[in-house]
Structure 1
């Protein structure tokens, strides 16, 4: 071996000075590697080979052969560029290939582990020379497989070098599939599952996954593997580079929507949101990756809520130009962001006016401290207005702002205090696109009471009500959507009404360009404000007004200041006059032509209006009877035969629920309007009764039939005669509304008293001997809950249940159901116990085929 002449290599006497070129290759997200390439092989003690490939930046690696023991070789100064070029020219590609082939052969499983470790280290360093070096390595088939096998090594250095080589090779698009098909993902999974790993091994392994996850198909494989929980766990690693690599893998995985569910189930959202909420030094990269992942997940409505539940708010990036229109309002007296003013007396001024600028510093009464939501609103408003004034509101991490074109659809995530204040600030700008996007974000973020109160304290309600009169349709639609979400809260609904929101909402309904979506949201708000039962509820309501108790509106804070609230003292008649004839005509038109959802809301508003006598003539002129008949003739009921005795059609659950709600609201409206003579004389009682009887026998939810039954009974009593003497309305109400309700109460009630009362009432109905009633009990599944009553009910309930089951047993088709419900063992126990009901149980046993 010593006398062999190999092209491209120099063999020198061991006593001569050793020369070696030092390599320093900088790769993305990784430390520098200044150590020289030195390799000693136990099988070749006489030989030290030094590779001399053409590397990136024209580095030359010079080595020599020596027969001495393993040891480090001292580095000498780098040669000049001209000498490097000449050295490269002297080395042919064939010599480099022959040298690499030796390293690849040394990766074989039959070689010494130390030789394999040094060979993989040499290949890793060589691969860092650039794509040409990687191409040369990939010419040797089986090199990647042998490299992946080294991931099982007990040596940390071997694992680091193997993972590093896989990372470098997988950075080339051409070889990424080859690395994955060789089982790299599976082996890296096993490697990362080890209890203790060095930081270098973790970094190289996760960075290899980072490169592999660029491929969409490989993302799915990584996400469906046991690897994902391990990657998420490394977000808590002490080493920042490991965190950054894990964040990069997750950022790539988030680009594939099909894996979002797996990521969320693995608990990625709490981990990433914690990184954004925690102020860590040198964490710009991981914060950026965490934000990218969360923004991708937030594209789904459900996952967006999960992100915001962790304390972040989705805020649109509107660009620096939009904030140029920001003009902070100067107050002669301090006020809260929601507009509540601070009332000061003559002794409340400080010498230098600090009390006006620094709100609350002079408040010492512990009972008068501002609530946390108000304090957060003040701090958030101050911070965001300061950033807007200095032009740094969208400058993050000290970077320059992005081009305005990239801001059009961009979003960022902010902690809820800053996010709420930023959104409210955007509502005050002049950019229509920015305003509509901010209002839409407010609607998305108003998913719980905490966030709704936060927006109220930040002053969003005044801005949103003002925007209902905006010239832009998109702005009006977004503002209406936000108010709809905020009005879910009863307290905020009162505040929204106090801002005179009814007028602009009604005006929007009158516009011809109002879309169905905007109309639905508008009707939602109006139906909550104009709730027919609201007047009665308000008599017993003593909750907060404008965020404060009613008693606190006139009180002062420590004798120097007080919060002035605005109470809702608008009388019913004044609010009713807002709905003029034009809007009443429009609401009745909705009853005739719109979807069941809109019909329900329109009927509720008309019921509110119908309470006042002057509106009755307008409603009659608008042909409200035709609108009501249209609601009772739902499209889902068209398959029903005209014969009232026919069976109801099968309705889907959603259609039945929507139709039932609309019909219930319309029936309630008819019931109230029957108190007016003009309506009573105008309505066709026969036709309306026929429609309602058809609805009563349909498959709409049972709770929606209550007002239908009440309306039928009232129509029958006011008409003075039965529509059909053979089938009176009261009997149909009993069969199709009362009996199903009693059976449901027997089966679901947790109160023994309520269950007993329902069984006794049902027995009273059955004892009248109407066959249809008995059949309805069996058809509605009443046998099973009745058998449960005789097993563990009270004495009176057991007696009534036995009587009902005895009547049911008179028809042989019910025998199988009674036996299947377990009645026979229960009856036998009653008979053997010789209890008060043993004779009834015996009679029932004799009727059954036992």
Structure 2
């Protein structure tokens, strides 16, 4: 995106000679100096002697030039992002001729006078008239600016006038700096003279006029074209002042502030500081609410946000503000749009609405408009459905008249390549347009729309919005597309949408399992496509979903309303007709998953794929064990080889340096946990138990239990080990190596984590009591395990703050730890001595144990 410079101030100038506008500008400056009366008591005339000629001036204060009529645009090339150079050929019309030598000499002599009048030794009123005259003269173009810049030190004098008590002086000084900063050659000089710092101080004034704000911020707008100056502006207090100016009452000030922020966003290094300063909510609000009279504000807000959404994290923040990135695909792609013609329309998500017993309206309005024949007494449609209807109506109307992307395509064609162009729309219109694109024929457009849906599905609100807008039906149908890019983008979108329970039900009901199974069977598909496919199936075929539905989605106190709400139905909707019941799955999911080809493919994934795919495949196989209690379909496959591959990850060999392999160890831990859960389920099958090498798997799991995988991944490993050991008969003896290792490497660390992080006093108390029970039973190395896991600090804190029962258990554990002199330094460093002394002095019930513990410590 190109950096933009703001046009020079537009002035209302009476030009008597239209054939030469440069000459007119010079003569106009002289004319208003010679004829304008004073505003206050007359002072002695100012004389200037140049080449032995004497000129007489009556200085004056002209009106503000904030409401111009003559439009002069200056842009520049170079500095940051490829701007256009401000030269006479670009900044003035093509019919401008060369200025004659006599006029140039005459005008230049007055410029020298005005520059001298800027000095501190002149009267403030004279300085005001001089800066105003120079500002007006600079609007003649680059040649006029070059003439002013011939005088060294001029910019320093102008910057000094920015903080003048006179608003007219400050406005003119800022306006002149704005003109000078529009030329590439002088931007750095303006910044070196302290213009940015002075403007920052100027904008901090509480009573600053809108005209001064506009000229000052426009100066920053032109300076921000230079990439180096962008960084300087963003790292000062100016950034906060610019963001504050977005709420200014004056439209011109808001436009200028938006322009500066748009230029600052062109430098990626500025993104972090801009986001932290809170620029995204402000720009998103302007983009959504700015009216037609402020197109510049909308344009600059959009340009800034388009730069920020290139970052994945910042894109999420933009979407959370209700703005959705939508690909610009070109108006030609919409020619394939064919709106459906319904005798009785349906909601965007495909829900049919039955007609009431009343006859149709006299003129067919109910069919022609929305198709919602609703009794006025019972109109109560949820907001998501109403937004889907409005968004669909707007976008289909624009597509029908061929105006859906005319303006957006024209604006963006110079900034982005064909496949990177984006627009930003309010979420209601953005969701509807993305769904509309899914129904077109252009494969590239469909793939980009599906990618945008995946990126926009960041929260429940957006996922429900896409469901209500009818995206699910299109996406499921596109899974059978013959274009690999389309299938990949669609699976990504469905995976993100599947996070929502209510949306997941609709996806399954649309028959998504069958096309996903077809993708799964084809081993030639790309790994990323397989990963997304397994991800969707893992969400839909969650083996615990039936249990979750009973506890989290079931009726409460016999109420049917809660169940309908959780299932995605709105129990409050009362049409005169009735909505069709929630669709059932179009295919038999259970039957398809028992296909031997599917199970064989899943086992193959366990053997050869990455931990992420292994985890999802193990979860799906666990679902198969639920629907096939005999497990004949799985035991017929070489499932042992798949489990063996999961339990022998190479990354576990380097797990003594967990910080180096943190991500790999985390992924491996998730895969191992899922495989352990699957193995535990398989051990319920008598046939499987007869064929499995239990000794081999016991050895593998014991090594995993001692490894550095996350603690929460060891719970199923421990459960599987216990179940494997029970195959040879029940053994409750703690001397059993398996029971002891489970205690040392899973139970004790888990209890210590509960003492450290739990917010419930009851949970912490139960943890310390159970820990004391383990030690009292004489488990070998249990005290060493507590010390190595950092449990001493948690015990001391619990003794200080816990209940009497927790204090007693904690003192017993700490006393056992004190029997080993290696723990003394850690106990004292944890602050145990003062706590124990307070217990002894207060003679609380366990004070005798506290006293014995104090005697063991070297105090």
TM range (shorter): 0.7 to 0.9
1:677 aligned onto 2:693: no
Query: Which among 715, 730, 747 is matched to residue 724 of structure 2?
Result: 715
1:740-755 map, 5 Å: 740-755=749-764
Paired residue for 2:298? 287
Partner residue, 1:575: 590
Assess, with a 3 A threshold, how the Cα gap between structure 1 residues 614 and 842 changes in structure 2: closer, same or farther.
closer
Instruction: Please report how far the alpha carbon of residue 495 of structure 1 lies from its aligned counterpart in structure 2 after TM superposition.
Output: 1.1
Other-structure match for 1:329 = 340
CA contact (8 A) 1:685 1:719 kept: no
Q: What aligned pairs does 1:638-717 form with structure 2 within 5 A after superposition?
A: 638-639=653-654, 652-717=661-726
Cα offset, 1:277, TM superposition: 1.9
**Partner Cα separation in structure 2 for residue 204 and residue 170 of structure 1:** 12
Change (3 A) 1:847 1:555: closer
Mind listing any 5+ residue stretches in structure 1 that lack a counterpart?
A: 1-18, 28-32, 52-62, 74-83, 641-646
* Structure ranking higher on relative contact order (CA contacts 8 Å, 6+ apart): 2
User: Is the partner of 1:338 in helix, strand or coil?
Assistant: coil
Does the aligned pair in 1 maintain the 2:395–2:404 contact within 8 Å? yes
8 Å CA contact 2:510–2:585 kept in 1: the answer is no
- Decide which moves more: 268-277 or 809-818: 268-277
Q: CA deviation at 1:435?
A: 0.7
Query: Structure 1 residues 405, 21: closer, same or farther in 2, change over 3 A?
Result: closer
* Match in the other structure for 2:581: 565
Shift of 1:489: 0.6
**Higher mean Cα deviation, 694-703 or 712-721?**
712-721
SS at match of 1:313: strand
Single out whichever of 478-487 and 97-106 deviates more from structure 2.
Answer: 97-106
Per-residue deviation, residues 669-728 of structure 1 (Å, max 9, x unmatched):
001111123322222212111110011111212121111011101111114599x99762
Map of 1:339 onto structure 2: 350
Which of 614, 621, 624 is residue 599 of structure 1 equivalent to?
Answer: 614
Distance 2:789 2:293 in 1: 67
Alignment-derived partner of residue 609 in structure 1: 624
**Within the alignment, does 1:129 sit opposite 2:144 as a pair?**
no
Show structure 2 runs of 5+ residues with no match: 1-13, 23-27, 64-95, 556-560
Cα separation, 2, equivalents of 1:629 and 1:128: 80
1:157 and 1:35 map into 2 onto residues whose CA distance is: 19
Distance 1:586 1:91, change over 3 A: same
Q: How far is 1:633 from its partner?
A: 1.2
RMSD after superposition: 3.6
CA contact (8 A) 1:103 1:122 kept: yes
Name 1:588's counterpart in structure 2. 603
Compute the displacement of 1:68 (Å): 7.7
Deviates most, 371-380 or 783-792: 783-792
Provide, for residues 119-175 of structure 1, a one-character-per-residue CA deviation record: whole Å limited to 9, x for no partner. 222322222222222222222111111111111222222222221221111111111
Give 1:97-108 correspondences, 5 Å limit.
97-108=108-119
How far residue 582 of structure 1 moved from its aligned partner, in angstroms, is 2.2
Which structure 2 residues correspond to residues 174-323 of structure 1 after superposition, within 5 A? 174-323=185-334
Structure 1 SS opposite 2:487: helix
Equivalent position of 1:45 in the other structure: 45
Query: Is 1:116 aligned with 2:127?
Result: yes
Whole-Å separation in 2 of the counterparts to 1:90 and 1:741: 93
- With over 3 angstroms needed to count, the CA separation of the structure-2 counterparts of 1:91 and 1:107, relative to structure 1, is same
After superposition, what is the alpha-carbon deviation per residue over 1:309-356, rounded to whole angstroms, capped at 9, x for unaligned? Answer: 222211111111111000011112221110000122543533333332
SS at match of 1:315: strand
Q: Does 1:514 align with 2:509?
A: no
Which of the numbers 431, 434, 446 marks the counterpart of 2:457?
446
Q: Is residue 319–residue 394 contact of structure 1 (8 Å, CA) maintained in 2?
A: yes
Q: Does 1:840 align with 2:859?
A: no
Q: 1:556 to 1:761 in 2, by over 3 A?
A: closer
| Equivalent-residue separation in structure 2 for 1:67 and 1:334 (angstroms) | 79
Q: Judging changes above 3 Å, is the alpha-carbon distance between structure 1 residues 321 and 401 closer, same or farther for their aligned structure 2 residues? A: farther
Matched-pair contact (CA < 8 Å) for 2:538–2:616: yes
Give me the TM-score of the superposition, normalised by structure 1.
Answer: 0.86
2:320 and 2:62 map into 1 onto residues whose CA distance is 57
Shift of 1:649: 6.9
Give the total of aligned pairs. 797
Shift of 1:567: 4.2
3-state SS of the aligned residue for 1:818? helix
**Counterpart in 2 of 1:9?**
none
Contact 1:545 1:566 survives alignment (8 Å)? no
Cross-structure match for 2:809: 800
TM-score (structure 2 length as normaliser): 0.85
Q: Structure 1 469/86 Cα, relative in aligned 2: closer, same or farther at 3 Å?
A: closer
- The aligned residue for residue 6 of structure 2 is none
Cα gap change, 1:405/1:234 in structure 2, threshold over 3 Å: closer, same or farther?
A: closer
Measured in 2, the distance between the counterparts of 1:326 and 1:690 equals 62
Contact 2:600 / 2:637 at 8 angstroms: preserved in 1? yes
Residues 184-220 of structure 1: CA deviation (Å, up to 9, x unaligned): 1111112222222233322222221111111000001
Matches within 5 A, 1:377-456: 377-396=388-407, 408-456=419-467
C-alpha distance in 2 between matches for 1:24 and 1:582: 85
1:88 paired to 2:108 = no
Hey, what's the Cα distance between the residues in 2 that align with 1:467 and 1:708? 40
Query: What is the match of residue 541 of structure 2?
Result: 530
Distance in 2, matches of 1:67 and 1:530, equals: 89
Distance 2:411 2:192 in 1: 42
CA distance 1:154–1:404, change in 2 (3 Å): closer
CA 1:624–1:25: 2 relative to 1, 3 Å: farther
* TM-aligned CA distance change 1:705 to 1:633, over 3 Å: same
Q: 1-side partners of 2:737 and 2:108: how far apart?
A: 101
Q: Is the 8 A contact 1:189 1:227 kept in 2?
A: yes
| 2: CA distance, partners of 1:721 / 1:556 | 57
* Paired residue secondary structure (1:145): helix
Matches of 2:61 and 2:710 in 1, distance apart? 86
Partner of 1:758: 767
The 1-side partners of 2:168 and 2:323 are apart by 41
The answer to whether residue 353 in structure 2 is matched with residue 358 in structure 1 is no
Q: Cα–Cα, structure 1 residues 789 and 160, in superposed 2: closer, same or farther, change >3 Å?
A: closer
Give the distance between the partners of 1:87 and 1:490, measured in 2 at CA. 75
What is the CA deviation profile of residues 365-409 of structure 1, one whole-angstrom value per residue up to 9, with x for unaligned ones?
655522111111112111211111111111349979969996532
Distance 1:395 1:328 in 2: 20
Kindly provide the CA deviation profile for residues 765-814 of structure 1, in whole angstroms up to 9, marking residues without a partner as x: 11123331121111112222222233233333222222222211111101
- Residues 20, 36 of structure 1: 8 Å contact kept: no
